[in-house]
A and B are shown apart, each in its own frame.
Chain A
């Protein structure tokens, strides 16, 4: 059993990393551990538990930012935001349940480190677009910061982008500043129900492209094939008896009402059109955000996340499902494919999936798989030789002894 270091102050955090650096003891960084199974399994000497560095330090709704210690729980963050009528507009998913854990875990540091984003990604960006600044301790055992608390800032290299999605391999963030925005007053969802038989994925991509190219300011566009739609907790969706495509509209009530009517009219040529109001909409989009359809599914042990050009979504997924046994759902107007596979092949079909994605341009991440598989198959998109070299050099600049989450993303990095 390895040691756990649980710093309660920044000084203790600095000491912990200095110790790891001098003693060359690799650390696994976590807070609630909700996404611990996301990434390559690691061999570490100790765990750096950030859960005691959990204060929300500054939250100024009128200034549209929050500064929180990295271990601040997402439930605390969400609660504070809700009380002020705000939210994180990139809609961070709760991936805990998908990865076999409990609902409502996760920390703000983990959200940033994994650069995740929900259905609103297409309009508002991902975690990377909302990190305004951070303080961290590098693998050199040095404190440093980047960015600030303001949205408009081009002072020096944008290290916040590098930190977002680096899975703790570069530095341990002690605190992060994220952009906060007013939450929409009302939400409506336009549902297109496709006929019970047949595959409508291609037509769905066109419907979503039309909606996203319209002036109605659509904030999310997802397509659920019949198998996935059937599992929704929203009656209109599960009862549709076929595939559904969903388009979300948000904003002040008169605006949402007006746009919903216009969009429904424009899309009725595709199929029967229904409308969900705020409550049902929220339930539905939370299901999409958290990939609810694959939660607790022992019959789908392997889950991939594919990012492709939106209009290539259906083509890519259908090509994959011709040879693989599994299910998909589409988010981001077709640009995000969640692919659940029903059998555990020794290579998780890695090469086939990645070469299929490569045809249209994009990347594939193995999000859920038994740990042996995550050791033997590249979890993150393999890099070109040039990217690999730059990535190695960047990592060396932050963590030369490889003591922070070593190998979490790539072997030897």
Chain B
């Protein structure tokens, strides 16, 4: 993974910069000891590591603003970091950059049940929001599987998803407002407890911008009333094709489940050995369909889905009789990654999205990719929204296997794009998929995105080297092409 060449002259200034930062963030909020910096050398994508130049952990928005102002003035790069659970290397440090951690922003500022929203600092965990409002019967809908650890600020940066996206949307559909600090230190507030923007939807483009546009210092999210009831069906199929058809048939019948997850045989066996969820072992594909809502609706839809499953050739159907059993159905799926971790020393988790109807085709072609490179691939999907998480199994101790696994990953993602899908459903591009952006976007597409970056951070000081394979200078991007000799376009119908 090629990162922008570190600026040795900045690295040489480590002590001086740390001293200056200590005048903004006093005490232990500035870290520059080699050993302590190791703790920040990667995020959830652990294959890539780089200790940062310095780590700063401010406690107030003003401090964030002063730090950014200082870095802007001194031309020093910044890498924002939430809880460090991101899976695409968005918070991978730079050797000549300061990692700005938001881990001290841990307070929930306001819970407003009547307006159904929570105002919180960005370091609060995703689950922390639900925990704070659960006693009153509310919850925060997006639920990435790292929800116990990941921060809401990081969720906004990555536009995190989870298993309930089809019905409840991603982070972007559940964020009402933010306070953020721009690279020049300017503090800006977007949105609030009201809906939509009076001007351009800046909040919309900030969400999912992977720390390239600003540092989030406060978030307002909407909370929802917990559904009266949730029931899950555990459905086994003799073939993956049957399972794929069942997914399509459920949607076609007008049912939008709260969650619809699919696992292949390798995953079923690995998870069953690990958590003993009671999964049937004689099926090729196992699906969990969760239906939530008012009692009467859930009962009605469960019966409907059971019918469809049987018509789709299901060989096993079990409906949860209580919440305990429902949680047991989920326990296997939620532990799929660590379960795979038990049968393979290392794995890469892929994150493409495909149109649902392509599921069977993509699975078959993935088998081919797996055979060609000689690495096993286990499959779990958010089937309802077409988000695939193939797990590529390898052993980093075998020379060359990481590189082979990366190749398998690139082949799978290229396949996703080829069938009309996208490179990332919820984990983000970061450094991991950065160099594949060209498979989905043209040069002009990418330039237009980067011009948005230029509006926020024209010097490319915030999180450079992430998302975009090539950093064009903003002055270059701003230039206009002149189209000589094509006037006056006689072909256009004019009236």
Contacts and interface: CB of A to CB of B under 8 A. Distances in A.
Interface of A: 3-8, 11-12, 15-16, 18-19, 21-23, 49, 52, 60-64, 85, 115, 117, 121-122, 125-126, 128-129, 138, 140-146, 148-162, 164-166, 181-183, 185, 209, 212-217, 251-252, 254-255, 257-259, 307-311, 332, 335-336, 361-365, 380-381, 383-384, 386-387, 390-391, 393-394, 396-398, 400-401, 409-410
A270 B479 CA distance: 62
A303 to B, nearest CB: 16
A63 B300 contact: no
A162 B477 contact: no
B194 A125 contact: no
B425 A254 contact: no
A-B residue pairs, 4 tightest by C-beta:
A161-B204, A381-B198, A397-B451, A363-B198
A158 B208 contact: yes
A22 B159 contact: no
Contact of A400 (B301, B385, B467, B480): B480
B411 interface: no
Given A150-B354, A157-B209, A215-B226, 10 more contacts: A3-B494, A19-B488, A117-B196, A155-B424, A157-B449, A251-B294, A255-B300, A307-B196, A307-B198, A394-B451
Contacts of A3: 494-495
B425 A361 contact: no
The range of chain B's interface size is 35 or more
Given A153-B422, A154-B428, A161-B204, A62 B356 contact: yes
Contact of B204 (A15, A162, A396): A162
Contact of B196 (A16, A128, A393): A128
B293 A213 contact: no
Contacts of B316: none
Nearest to A62: B252
A79 to B, nearest CB: 18
B157 to A, nearest CB: 10
22 contacts: A5-B492, A6-B492, A21-B483, A141-B481, A142-B444, A151-B386, A154-B425, A155-B423, A155-B433, A158-B204, A166-B200, A181-B256, A183-B254, A185-B254, A209-B115, A215-B225, A216-B294, A259-B297, A335-B195, A336-B195, A390-B182, A393-B455
B248 A390 contact: no
Interface in B459-495: 467, 477-478, 480-483, 486-489, 491-495
B131 interface: no
Contact of B166 (A151, A212, A381, A384): A151
Contacts of A64: 251
Given A19-B488, A215-B137, A397-B477, A386 B196 contact: no
Contacts of A154: 158-159, 161, 170, 208, 424-429
B175 to A, nearest CB: 11
Interface stretch (B271-279, B282-290, B435-443): B435-443
Interface string B410-423: 00000000001111
Contacts of A390: 182, 188, 202, 455-456
A409 B361 CA distance: 46
A41 to B, nearest CB: 18
Contact of B205 (A5, A148, A158, A365): A158
Given A62-B357, A150-B386, A156-B437, A161 B454 contact: no
A48 to B, nearest CB: 10
A275 to B, nearest CB: 16
A387 B199 contact: yes
Q: Give chain B's interface secondary structure class.
A: loop
B247 to A, nearest CB: 9
A251 B227 CA distance: 14
Contacts of B478: 396-397, 400
Contact of A155 (B113, B248, B429, B492): B429
Interface of B: 112-116, 137-138, 158-159, 161, 165-166, 169-170, 172-173, 182, 186-190, 192-205, 207-209, 212, 225-228, 248, 251-252, 254-256, 293-297, 299-301, 353-357, 382, 385-387, 420-429, 433, 437, 440-442, 444-449, 451-456, 467, 477-478, 480-483, 486-489, 491-495
Scoring A142, A143, A156 by chain B CB atoms within 10 A of each residue's CB, the highest score goes to A156
A96 B461 CA distance: 46
Given A63-B356, A152-B382, A213-B116, A126 B196 contact: yes
Q: Give chain A's interface secondary structure class.
A: mixed
A305 to B, nearest CB: 10
Contacts of B488: 19
Given A142-B444, A162-B204, A148 B421 contact: yes
A396 B452 CA distance: 9
A195 to B, nearest CB: 24
A156 B429 contact: yes
Nearest to B423: A155
B169 A309 contact: no
Contact of A4 (B255, B300, B385, B494): B494
Contacts of A6: 492-495
B427 A129 contact: no
A252 B198 contact: no
